[in-house]
C-alpha cells in the first residue's frame, strides 16, 4: 500500500495535479452556463464526464510536457528534481500515462455527444502541441493559454452541442489570464532559455518589457470580465467575484518586479489559484441563485 501511494504521488506530482485548479472553475462555469439555458438542465452523467474530460486532457498535456522537456529539465537546476530527470518515473512510463490519459479523454468526449467527440483530437493537438512551441516561438505562453481556454467552451459544448458567445468570452478570459501569468512564471528561467536556445517572452526581451506585456494581457482579461458580465446580465454575486478576481490580478503585478523574483510562485500559483476559484464559484452561484 505504501508503495502504491508513493507511485500515485509521483504521477500526481508529474502532472502537477493541484494546478488543475486554474482551468477547472472555468470548465464548471461553462457547464452551468449551458445547464441553466432553457431546455437544458443538470445531469450527473454529463457533469461527471465534463470533469473527466478536464482531468484526462490536462493529465495528458502535463505528462507529455514533462516527457518532451525531460532533456531541458535535466539541465535546469530548478527542474532537475522533477520526476523524469530524477528517475522516479521513466520516459516509457510517462508516455504510457500520456497515451492512457489521451484515450480516456477521447472516450469521455465520445460519451458526451458527437461534436465533442469530433473535436477531441483537435483539443489534444493543441494541448500536447504546446510542449514544442518553446522550441520556435516566444508566443508559447499564448498557446498554453489557448489550451486551457478550451475548458469553458468545451464544457458548454458538452451540455448543448452548439457554440455560443458567452462561453467563448470566458474562453478568451482564460486565454489572456493564463498567458499573462505564464509570462510571470517563465521569468524564473529567462537566462536558462537564452542559454539553451529556447523561446519565451522574458528570454527574447527584458524582464521589464515582459512584465509590461503581462500587464496588458491582464488588462484585457479585466475588460473581458466586464464584457462577459454585461452581456450575461450578471448579478451581484458575479460582480463581487469579478472585483476580487481583478484585485488579485493587480496584486500579483505589485509583488513581482524585474529585480525581485522572490514572490513569483506566490503570484503564479497561490494568487491565481485563489482568484480562479473565487471567480469561477461566483459565476456558478450567480447563474444558480439569481
- Per-residue model confidence as pLDDT tens digits over 76-107: 999 999 989 999 999 999 999 999 999 999 99
- Give the count of beta carbons closer than 10 Å to the beta carbon of residue 97: 21
% of the chain beyond a pLDDT of 70: 93
State the Cα–Cα distance between residues 12 and 55, nearest whole angstrom.
Answer: 11
Grid cell, residue 73, equals 529539465
Q: What is the pLDDT of residue 65?
A: 94
Grid cell, residue 235, equals 448579478
The domain ranges of the chain are 8-289
State the Cα–Cα distance between residues 243 and 99, nearest whole angstrom.
Answer: 40
Q: What is the pLDDT of residue 42?
A: 93
Q: What is the pLDDT of residue 30?
A: 97
pLDDT band at residue 290, thresholds of 50, 70 and 90?
confident
Q: Which positions ≥6 away from 147 have C-beta within 8 Å?
A: 61, 126, 127, 130
Of 8, 97, 5, give the one whose Cα is nearest residue 59.
97
**Residues 252, 269 contacting (CB under 8 angstroms):** no
- Give the count of beta carbons closer than 10 Å to the beta carbon of residue 151: 30
State the Cα–Cα distance between residues 221 and 15, nearest whole angstrom.
Answer: 26
pLDDT 10s digits, 181-212? 999 999 999 999 999 999 999 999 999 999 99
Determine the average pLDDT of the residues in 241-264: 95
Q: Is 165 exposed, middle or buried (0-12, 13-18, 19+ CB in 10 A)?
A: exposed
pLDDT 10s digits, 119-174? 999 999 999 999 999 999 999 999 999 999 999 999 999 999 999 999 999 999 99
Q: Say which CATH topology domain 8-289 has.
A: Tetracycline Repressor; domain 2 (1.10.357)
Flag whether pLDDT at 2 surpasses 70.
no
Cα dihedral angle (212, 218, 224, 225), rounded to 10 degrees? -150
Per-chain mean pLDDT for the chain: 93
State the Cα–Cα distance between residues 226 and 204, nearest whole angstrom.
Answer: 32
Amino acid at each position: 500500500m505504501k508503495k502504491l501511494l508513493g507511485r500515485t504521488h509521483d504521477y500526481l506530482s508529474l502532472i502537477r495535479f493541484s494546478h488543475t485548479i486554474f482551468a477547472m472553475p472555468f470548465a464548471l462555469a461553462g457547464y452551468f452556463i449551458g445547464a441553466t439555458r432553457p431546455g437544458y438542465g443538470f445531469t450527473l452523467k454529463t457533469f461527471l464526464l465534463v470533469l473527466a474530460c478536464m482531468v484526462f486532457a490536462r493529465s495528458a498535456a502535463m505528462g507529455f510536457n514533462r516527457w518532451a522537456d525531460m532533456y531541458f529539465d535535466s539541465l535546469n537546476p530548478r527542474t532537475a528534481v522533477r520526476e523524469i530527470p530524477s528517475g522516479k518515473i521513466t520516459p516509457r512510463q510517462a508516455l504510457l500515462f500520456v497515451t492512457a490519459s489521451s484515450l480516456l479523454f477521447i472516450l469521455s468526449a465520445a460519451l458526451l455527444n458527437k461534436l465533442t467527440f469530433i473535436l477531441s483530437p483537435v483539443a489534444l493537438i493543441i494541448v500536447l502541441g504546446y510542449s514544442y512551441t518553446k522550441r520556435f516561438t516566444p508566443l508559447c505562453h499564448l498557446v498554453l493559454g489557448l489550451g486551457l481556454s478550451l475548458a469553458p467552451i468545451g464544457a458548454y459544448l458538452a451540455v448543448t452541442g452548439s457554440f455560443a458567445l458567452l462561453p467563448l468570452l470566458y474562453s478568451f478570459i482564460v486565454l489572456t489570464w493564463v498567458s499573462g501569468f505564464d509570462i510571470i512564471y517563465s521569468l524564473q528561467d529567462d537566462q536558462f532559455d537564452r542559454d539553451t536556445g529556447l523561446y519565451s517572452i522574458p528570454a527574447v526581451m527584458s524582464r521589464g518589457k515582459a512584465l509590461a506585456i503581462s500587464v496588458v494581457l491582464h488588462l484585457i482579461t479585466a475588460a473581458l470580465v466586464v464584457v462577459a458580465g454585461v452581456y450575461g446580465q450578471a448579478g451581484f454575486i458575479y460582480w463581487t467575484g469579478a472585483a476580487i478576481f481583478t484585485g488579485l490580478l493587480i496584486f500579483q503585478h505589485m509583488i513581482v518586479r524585474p529585480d525581485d523574483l522572490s514572490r513569483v510562485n506566490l503570484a503564479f500559483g497561490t494568487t491565481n489559484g485563489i482568484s480562479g476559484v473565487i471567480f469561477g464559484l461566483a459565476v456558478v452561484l450567480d447563474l444558480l441563485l439569481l
